[in-house]
Amino acid sequence: METAQAGPNATKRARGSHPRRGADTLPELSTAHARAILLRAAGFDRSWPAGTDGVVALLDALEWIQLDPIDRVGQNADLVASARCAGLVRGQVHRALAGRSFEHFAKERCILHPRHFAHYRGQAVETPWWRHSERMARLPASLLAEVLGEVRERGPLPVDRLSPRGKVSPMDWAGWKSTSRAEVLALEVLWTRCEVVVSGRDARGRRVVDLPERALPPEALTAVPVGSFAETMLLARVRSCGLLSRNSGPTWSMLADARTDGTVERLLAAGTLAAVRVGRRPYLTLPESLVLPVHDVLHAASTTSAVLGPLDPLLWNRDLVRDAFGFDYLWEVYKPAAQRSWGYYVCPLLVGGELAGRFEARRDGGILRVERTWGNLTGAEPALSRLAAFNGCEGFDLAGAQRSA
């Protein structure tokens, strides 16, 4: 069994490592050990039930699944599930999790397990990049109560079916405009506060909003938060990442203060978290990851053949993916075409526990048409067949793909 390269005392040193010291003083994990931690955290070391049972079990394990609306061969949430669970079709994730999840910020916007609702509702979050205060300044004081009353009376309902209540000046994020509909802006404030929840999506992919007491399991509403939001969510974030970078970034969404306010140091001192490095970069992990049966995990993952969604949890940290898998992946869908190194909607392939190739495809009638490939696609046929079935296609066509190194 492989353990951290620092040897049998790695756990003790990792728990007590001071975050202000240089990363070189931390116990170093081998690339195989780091890869095993990531594969286990992402759920690729085990089999999952098929269909909706698998989706429910997957959210229970992953805790959150990142959302993105773009659908070329499936939206990201569907692709995350279909990479692990057989027998799914496009849109099934939202149907499977209706009444069993809510949407909020975790690693950016995600579907969350309802076990976290009590902490989210109890946390009055002023998320700086969300600019909550600026939203409030644009809304009449009475509008929040009016929109909440409408959701109470008419919910669940898609967001675009809210009664119009005039216009507001949209906010600007470097050219990205927010809504100009006053009722939608009010709804966003209510949603951020957990006074309403996005309980799912309809057949057209529109957000469906409702009151928490109608949309969530009773135990989610009666639970009393144990521990602080920062400590509880940081531990959950480390569990879902496997290895959480000490540097700021999207994986610290809603937890930016916890990175620097002493929360990390308290958890390290208590032995609840461990500090390690992969290469020259520092990470947080769980103490049990230091004694992970690396060979067993990698052997279990060696049977995998999966198409990964572009925001799959295995891919959240580009530097870590490069160090652990020797694979450089950057999703370029929001970059101008001339600046892309690969393509518009390029998905990696996980085969045998390794990231060795990537491809770009589209639905073309009853065929999943693979247009371009990079790297080694040996052993990828089961993954492509599953993706074709997921998209309602009879099969996939690889013969006409443009191949690149």
For the segment 333-358, the average pLDDT, to the nearest whole number, is: 94
Q: Provide the pLDDT for residue 367.
A: 96
For the segment 219-230, the average pLDDT, to the nearest whole number, is: 92
Q: How confident is the model at residue 342 (pLDDT cuts 50, 70, 90)?
A: very high
The residue that leads in pLDDT, 124 or 273, is 273
- Computed over every residue of the chain, the mean pLDDT equals 90
Measured CA to CA in angstroms, residue 133 lies from 104, 192, 253 at distances of 18, 12, 18
In this prediction the pTM is 0.90
**In percent, how much of the chain has pLDDT > 90?**
78
Lowest mean pLDDT among 72-86, 134-148, 204-218: 134-148
Measured CA to CA in angstroms, residue 323 lies from 107, 142, 239 at distances of 21, 53, 20
The contacts of residue 20 (CB under 8 Å, 6+ apart) are none
For the segment 135-164, the average pLDDT, to the nearest whole number, is: 92
pLDDT digits (tens, 9 = 90+) for 305-328: 999 999 999 999 999 999 999 999
Q: Provide the pLDDT for residue 130.
A: 66
For the segment 201-224, the average pLDDT, to the nearest whole number, is: 92
Give CA torsion, residues 136, 141, 143, 149, to 10 deg: 110
Answer whether 360's CB lies under 8 Å from 343's CB: yes
The residue that leads in pLDDT, 40 or 23, is 40
Q: How confident is the model at residue 194 (pLDDT cuts 50, 70, 90)?
A: very high
Angle at 191 between CA 190 and CA 195, to 5 degrees: 60
Lowest mean pLDDT among 31-40, 102-111, 202-211: 202-211
Q: Provide the pLDDT for residue 88.
A: 96
The domain limits of the chain are 295-404
Q: Provide the pLDDT for residue 124.
A: 60
Q: Provide the pLDDT for residue 8.
A: 32
